[in-house]
């Protein structure tokens, strides 16, 4: 109730005539000089030239070479997107080729693919399986890590560094396991 009365009293004092009319006189008495804003009409080309001169005086942003390699340099979030796009891109290419195969005379049936893959050397088969297994393992494990971050845990610098090393190590080992079954 008191706050309401104080507010109403302040509004009434501010509404009295002459309060705002006295402001410039008070400013002049205080030594504040007011100068009117002047605008000049210039052509579009002259305005563009002024902007060009102003841009030349701006500082240049630093190159990426000045930054130290930190824990986020290998950006686990970016690599999750990269591996996800790799996996989905490979699936889209395969399924599109599978749909177009009858029209183009290709044999992408399961039996022909299995027999062609079985004829490859062991190292080539392992390499192809690792190229598909590593992105899958990395994407899966890093997805679990993101869920852990969503709980608000693991944001300390040592924890991030340990998690990054564990992520890469477990992803490579999982990719090798999926490729060679070691």
Tens-digit pLDDT profile for residues 71-118: 555 677 888 899 999 999 999 999 999 999 999 999 898 999 999 999
pTM here is 0.58
**CATH assignment at residue 137:** 1.20.1300.10
The number of distinct structural domains making up the chain is 1
**pLDDT (mean) for 56-61:** 77
Tokens of 121: 């050397």
Report the alpha-carbon distance of residue 116 to residue 98 in Å, rounded: 16
In a domain, 165, yes or no: yes
Distances in Å between the Cα of 141 and the Cα atoms of 76, 129, 138, 171 are 11, 18, 5, 7
Q: Are 50 and 56 in contact (CB under 8 A)?
A: no
Q: Which residue has the higher pLDDT, 55 or 22?
A: 55
**Residue 66 reports pLDDT greater than 90:** no
Average pLDDT, the chain: 82
In a domain, 46, yes or no: no
| Domain residue limits at 151 | 72-180
Report the alpha-carbon distance of residue 144 to residue 121 in Å, rounded: 34
């Amino acid at each position: 109730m008191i706050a309401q009365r104080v507010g109403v009293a302040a509004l009434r004092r501010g509404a009295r005539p002459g309060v705002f009319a006295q402001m410039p006189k008070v400013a002049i008495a205080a030594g504040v000089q007011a100068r009117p804003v002047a605008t000049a009409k210039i052509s579009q080309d002259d305005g563009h030239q002024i902007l060009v001169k102003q841009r030349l005086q701006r500082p240049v942003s630093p190159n990426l070479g000045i930054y130290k390699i930190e824990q986020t340099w290998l950006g686990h979030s970016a690599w999750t997107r990269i591996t996800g796009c790799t996996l989905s891109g490979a699936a889209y290419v395969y399924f599109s080729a599978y749909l177009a195969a009858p029209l183009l005379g290709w044999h992408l049936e399961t039996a022909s693919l299995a027999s062609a893959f079985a004829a490859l050397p062991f190292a080539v088969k392992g390499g192809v399986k690792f190229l598909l297994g590593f992105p899958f393992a990395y994407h899966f494990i890093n997805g679990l890590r993101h869920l852990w971050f969503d709980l608000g845990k693991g944001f300390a610098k040592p924890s991030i560094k340990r998690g990054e090393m564990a992520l890469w190590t477990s992803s490579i080992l999982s990719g090798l396991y999926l490729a060679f079954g070691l």
